Each structure stands twice: as C-alpha cells, then as structure tokens.
Amino acid sequence: MQLLFRIENELIHPISNIMTISRQFIGNQNGNIAIMFALLLPVIAGFIGASVDLSAAFLNNARISNAVDTAILAGLKVYGNKDLKKDRKAKANKAALNILQANLFDKGIKLDKFNVAFSQDGKKSYSARVNWKATSPAYFTSLFGIDSYPLSNTVVAKLPIGQAKYIDLYFMMDFSSSMGIAATPSGITQLTQKAGCAFTCHDGSNYAKIAKANGIDLRMDVVKRAVNDIAKKIKKLDSETADQYRIGLYGFTHRAWTILSPTGNMDAVNGALSRAGVQNAHTHLGAAMSYLRSVIGKQGTGSSKDDRQKMVVFLSDGLYDMPPWVYRTNTMRVADCNTGIKAQKVRLMVIYTTYEYINHWAYRRLVRPHARNLEPDMRKCASPNSFYQTRNVSDINKAFDSIFVEFVKAGGMALTQ
C-alpha cells in the first residue's frame, strides 16, 4: 500500500518530484561544477568562436568598404576627365578595378561581385554606382553549421560637372608626452610590465625602443598610419587632376612647427610622417592654434590652384600643461579655435584622443581635476558636425575614414553608402 501510494504520488505530482530531485542534485556538490562546466563548455566555446568570426567579418567589411570607396572615386575622376574622348566607361572601369585589386590583394580578400555603372546627369554631374558582395570565412562557427558570413553594400558617388575645387588639408597633431601612450589597454599593460611605465616619453629611457621591439603600437603610431592611408587614397584618386588635393603636416608640444608644407606629393607625406615622433615635452594648445593661423592665412574659394579652400584637422588629448614644476594644467580654450580659424570660415575638424584613466600620481594630480571638461571643450572647438571622439584603434581609423570622405566631398565629389 505504501508502494502504491508512492507511485501514485509521483504520477500526480511530477513537477514537485523533479524539483525535489533537482534540489538533491544541487545540494550534492560532489562533481557538480565539473558536470555543469562540461555541459556549458560547447556553449561557451560557441560564443567565443562566434565573437572571433564576427570580429573578422566586421574587419573585412571595413577593409572592403575603404577599398571600394577609393576605387569608385578614382574611377569617377577618370570618367569625368574631359580629355578622354572615347572609351571613358571602359577606362573608368579599369581604373576602379586596378585600385580595388591593389588595395585588397595584400589583405587576401576576394570579392564575389563588383559591378560598377557610370553615368552622366545632363550637365549637372557624373555619377557612379557600385554593388559589391563578398563572404567572410567562418573558422569556429563552422563547427555549428555556419561556414561563412555574407557581406554586401551599394555605394554611390557623384562628381558635379565643372565644380571641382582645389583643397588643402592641414593636419595639426599633438606630439607631446601624453601621446606616447600605448594604443590599446593590453598595450598599456604590456608596456608597463616591460618598461615600468605606460608612456614612452621619459628622458634617458629606451621605452620607445622597447615598445617597437615588442610590437606595441603607440597611439601616435596609429594616427600616423591613418594620415598616411589618406595620403595613399588621395594619390590614387588625384592622378587625373594634379594637386587638386594637398596635405600639410604640422606638429606641436609647448611650441608648434611645420613638418611638411601643403603638397600634392603624397609620397612626401609618408616620408615626413616616418621621421616625426613623440617628444618629451609639455602641451601648449594655444601655441598650436596661433601657429595654424599664421600658416593658413585667409580662406580661399577653391576655384583655382592659387585660391585654395582650406580645412584643418586638429588632433590632441585636449590637456594644456606647462611648467614650472607646479604644473599649470587646463583644457582647450574655445577662443583659440575661433580667432583666425573658424572666424575665417575654415572648417575645423577635431579628433579628441580620449585621456583615459591611468593609475599614476601625475594623472590624479594634473588630469583628473579637468577630466570632465576635456571632451566638452574639445567639442566646442570643432566646427559643426566635425568632432570625433576616439578611445581605441578602431575609433581612430573610423574618424580618419570620415575625414577622407569630407576631404574629397569638399573638392566636389559626393560619396554615399
């Protein structure tokens, strides 16, 4: 009778029974953790693998997008060349494909589809429309039946007829000590372990050599590569119209100087950047703006090589610091940005390389009192829709990609995706 009652009870109350067994299982901890880990391990591995594959897909998508942008603009420049009386479309297609292949070849990326169509809208503009497709391979998630990730986009570019402008782009870059920090959190940790400091800027040290020897990118290394990437794109884009786009390089610490005057020679830009580096020096933001005013002069219309339109990219972590030993630190003075630059209707694009927290007495004493105002004051310095805050390598690259698009747009070319 007791047995019958037990069976009946288990049949009538299955949920209660399961919960009782579950509590007994949880209460008995012998081997439970190992069993749960074994059950969850495939799920954990799947999430980790998916994140790796998706990160690779996003990176490949960005690489393809950059290559397609450069290719379509270069092809459009050829299509809009009035000296080409025949076969303009064929030559424009060839120019676009050549640049696309050159940009993707060293990255091992192959497109599944690349269709470009050039056309002319009466006497208003030339246009180009690109449809592309690619696949990013899946390495980890293939174990779960996902072999690849599809990538695709449509890009449209326009070139107004007879409205091309001559543009100079001035880069004013902060080469003071704080820009000698490693570019990533892992790099900061690694450099601290290898050299005893997160920065490479101290007198008599070999920290910069240690960073290079260990493959640790500094923030300024990333910036220099991004500027050079713009120069490479302009070189390919500007082959049909010599010197329509020029780049000038300037640096500052407690003083400002010319690295390279505006030039259409993009190889010279790369050479000049390779010789520039972070210095063990303070930061005078006002001196940088004052120097820019002296070299830029008046804004031009862009109608000719002698009347060039000007744009400025100002890059810094936004902290003013000057001796004596009891440092005077402050944030960006908006008046320095307005006087002689924005007042001349020169577009001022500001890249704020976020001053991240560092566990060091200098940060606590000199930076933390101003930390909350660094970003707002740098933002106020920028022209409308021209502020870029960066925290990592990806942010810096995205900012410079946007600046490239704005640069070519100012010259009369429009790019939409």
The CATH class for the domain spanning 35-160 reads alpha beta
34-58 pLDDT, tens digit each: 676 566 666 666 667 677 777 778 8
Question: How crowded is the C-beta side of 99, counted as CA atoms within 13 Å?
Answer: 27
As a three-state string, the secondary structure of 139-170 is CCHHHHCCCEEEEEEEEEEEEECCCCCCEEEE
pLDDT of residue 415: 59
Are β-strands 125-137 and 111-121 bridged in parallel, bridged antiparallel, or unpaired?
Answer: antiparallel
Q: Can you tell me which residue has the tokens 């901890």?
A: 29
Average pLDDT over residues 110-139: 83
> What does the pLDDT look like over 319-368, one tens digit per residue?
888 776 556 778 888 888 887 788 889 999 999 998 877 777 777 877 88
In this structure, the number of other CB atoms found within 10 A of the CB of residue 8 comes to: 10
Taking the domains of the chain in order of start, what are their residue ranges?
35-160, 167-181+218-411
Q: Would you say the C-alpha torsion 209, 215, 216, 218 has a positive or negative sign?
A: positive
Share of the chain above pLDDT 90, in %: 17
CB atoms within 10 A of CB 17: 13
- CATH top class, domain 167-181+218-411: alpha beta
Residue 13 has pLDDT above 50, yes or no: no
Q: With CA atoms as reference, report the closest residue to 98 among 247, 239, 264.
A: 239
Residues 284 and 255 sit within 8 Å (Cβ to Cβ)? yes
Note the pLDDT of residue 170.
Answer: 95
- Per-residue pLDDT of 366-388, as tens digits, reads 788 887 888 899 999 999 999 99
Task: Report the pLDDT value the prediction gives residue 343, as an integer from 0 to 100.
Answer: 86
Check pLDDT > 50 for residue 25: no
